[in-house]
Amino acid sequence: MATVDLDDVRKRFGSTEVIHGVSTAIEDGEFIVIVGPSGCGKSTLLRMVAGLESVSQGEIRIDGKRVNEVEPMDRDIAMVFQNYALYPHMSVRQNMGYGLKIAGLPKNAIEEKVQDAARLLQLDQLLDRRPKQLSGGQRQRVAMGRAIVREPSVFLFDEPLSNLDAKLRVQMRVEIKELQAKLGITSLYVTHDQVEAMTMADRMIVMNAGIAEQIGSPLDVYERPDTLFAAQFIGSPSMNILPATLASNSLRIGSIELGKRGLPDGTVHLGIRPEHVVIASDGPLSLTVHLAEPLGANTLLHGKLDESGETFTAAISGVYRVNGPGETIRLAVDDAHVHLFDSDTGRRIV
Amino acid sequence: MAIAADAQRVRKEPAPGMVEKRGRNLWLTHALMILGVLVVFFPIWLAFVASTVTQQEIARAPMPLLPGDRFFENYARALFAGVNVPVATMLLNSLVMAVGIAVGKIVISLLSAFAIVYFRFPGRSVFFWLIFLTLMLPVEVRIVPTFEVVAGFGMLNSYSGLIFPLIASATATFLFRQFFLTVPDELAEAARVDGARPMRFFIDILLPMSRTNIAALFVILFIYGWNQYLWPLLITTDPEMNTIVMGIKQMFPSGDDVADWPVIMATSILAMIPPVIVVISMQKLFIRGLVDSEK
């Protein structure tokens, strides 16, 4: 068990910098999810913590000790890879015990630890199978088991669920989270899936283009996104962003006044989550619906706002039957759920 | 053999499009196949017949087509007396050379492919291309300088002289390189996280994963080594060091002496046996390896 500190960590490949200084302090036992679109540098950041990539600048500390120059095996970490990276010619038992065998543990101690981990992961019946004789979910468990038996102080997960089908992903998500809570081991988890990030994280790091846009608890990020990117990346369907103006303390989209704000005049980006609008006959916004997606629990209405011609998505709770495309509905917005972002920097305006 | 068996299996369950091949066509293809086998097999049969009869029977036209009664005599004479040197000695020499070349080539090319694929060192691609370049230089092209070197080291008439000049293989290095490139990087990284140093990873992970390739290459390289003719002919002047493939040629008398055909033919048949054993036994391993193969 350990803390992990990232201090202005940067990564350069040749002259291109791909990670532009990430700093955060991860507490003992915390589950941190690094989330972002592909190519944002999240995997690179994780691999730097693992020691598989060198650190170009800055410092990584595990339990207060600088590990920049330490080999992966000496960092007291365990990693679960996207493709599981199980050794194909070894049985499940050998796969899980390989790290311990190299560490020079006696055979019976290895067997005991492997048995314990196998019981924990319900793999006890499969110990003599080869990886190719296992299903995707079972392979995933073996990869987890290989990490657990080493009793590391930090778990690193590199998109471990992306090769599983949707149903299994939900199940494994719960299992990983429960396991981590039970073992209390500090974990860093990389994913591009914002649902995984929301459901698993104690805190999440939202990354974009090598920058940590926001670090905070899932609900913090959801309720008070720091940047336009974080606002749009977290939440599904993603937040509607509309150009708006502030003039004499009045917030307007086109000619419609949405509320009062004590802010200087100018143009801003206004964000409204689809789930924060309701149908109201006297609502200020009028939406021409082009497509309705009934999901059962709610209905997604995609269309254009009549006032500004912007595309807009509304999530109406329950079943809503549209009277053919082109129907116009009026929407009301809860003022408490309106987010404003600077139109130049994309940062949140308080 | 296995190929014939496979062909039969395929015949039992013909693909839908092949149903009309049954009947007359089936017999025709079989007849052609049998004819082909006979044509290929006939010289070997003749050699076998010649190795079981007396010298006089071979010399008298027409040559006999059925085995005689001198099988044990001729083969014993070949194995333990030979013409210049007992065939048993030559068989041993050939075996040492072929195994030495095959094992050596596999070890060296595994290691060099490992270096080229998994280590970043200066001149990495230069070295790869240098190795690749030697593919274009057959033994015959560099035979004179190689002979100079081997003679200078005093390795004439020795196993090291027979083996070492032929021990590096660009082909095998290239094959293993291609195979290693298909091994996912994550596997190497997982081993690193597990604490395996490079050689540990090589021995514990890469080697077991390459075993089908190694088996296949062993078959090819053993036969390559066994069939070496020119190189042993050059560097072995002592009959005790002759290998069997070149030894057969040495059995032909140089002057007006009469060739001892039954013994020469017995030697030829004996020379064929080890490669056949290797192919058949390794083929089983090879197929088992294919069935087990996982990646």
Question: Is 70 exceeded by the pLDDT of residue A347?
Answer: yes
Q: Over range A194-207, report the average pLDDT.
A: 89
Q: Name the residue with higher pLDDT: A246 or B94.
A: B94
End-to-end CA distance of chain B: 28
Q: Over range B3-30, report the average pLDDT.
A: 60
Average pLDDT across chain B, whole number: 84
Question: Is 70 exceeded by the pLDDT of residue B293?
Answer: no
Which pLDDT value is given to residue B95? 94
Q: Is residue A73 within 8 angstroms of chain B, CB to CB?
A: yes
Question: Is 80 exceeded by the pLDDT of residue B287?
Answer: no
Question: Is 90 exceeded by the pLDDT of residue B137?
Answer: no
Which residue of A lies nearest to B186 if distances are taken between CA atoms?
A85
Q: How many residues does chain B have?
A: 295
Question: Is 70 exceeded by the pLDDT of residue A116?
Answer: yes
Strand partners, B8: none
Confidence band, pLDDT 50/70/90 cuts, at residue A84: confident
Write the pLDDT tens digit of every residue in B101-127: 999 999 999 999 999 999 888 888 888
Q: Is residue A98 within 8 angstroms of chain B, CB to CB?
A: yes
Write the pLDDT tens digit of every residue in B35-84: 999 999 999 999 999 889 888 888 787 888 888 888 888 888 888 887 77
CB contact under 8 A, B194 and A52: no
E strands present in chain A: 4-13, 16-26, 31-35, 57-62, 65-66, 77-80, 154-158, 186-191, 203-208, 211-216, 240-247, 250-253, 256-260, 266-272, 277-279, 285-294, 298-305, 311-317, 328-333, 338-342
Residues of chain A positioned with their CB less than 8 A from the CB of B208:
89
Which pLDDT value is given to residue A279? 86
- The alpha carbon dihedral of A19, A75, A95, A79 has a sign of negative
Shortest Cα distance from B112 to chain A (angstroms)? Answer: 22
Question: Is 50 exceeded by the pLDDT of residue A52?
Answer: yes
Confidence band, pLDDT 50/70/90 cuts, at residue B2: very low
Which pLDDT value is given to residue A171? 85
Shortest Cα distance from B204 to chain A (angstroms)? Answer: 9
* Percent of chain B whose pLDDT exceeds 90: 29
Residues of chain A positioned with their CB less than 8 A from the CB of B189:
50, 52, 72, 79, 81, 85
Residues of chain A positioned with their CB less than 8 A from the CB of B209:
88-89
Above 0.85 for ipTM, yes or no? Answer: no
CA B28 to CA B23: how far, in whole Å? 9
Question: Is 90 exceeded by the pLDDT of residue B212?
Answer: no
Q: Name the residue with higher pLDDT: B187 or A248.
A: B187
Residues of chain B positioned with their CB less than 8 A from the CB of A102:
194-196, 200
E strands present in A229-342: 240-247, 250-253, 256-260, 266-272, 277-279, 285-294, 298-305, 311-317, 328-333, 338-342
CB contact under 8 A, A50 and B193: yes
Q: CATH classification of B79-294, choosing from 3.40.50.12780, 2.70.150.10, 3.30.1330.20, 1.10.3720.10?
A: 1.10.3720.10
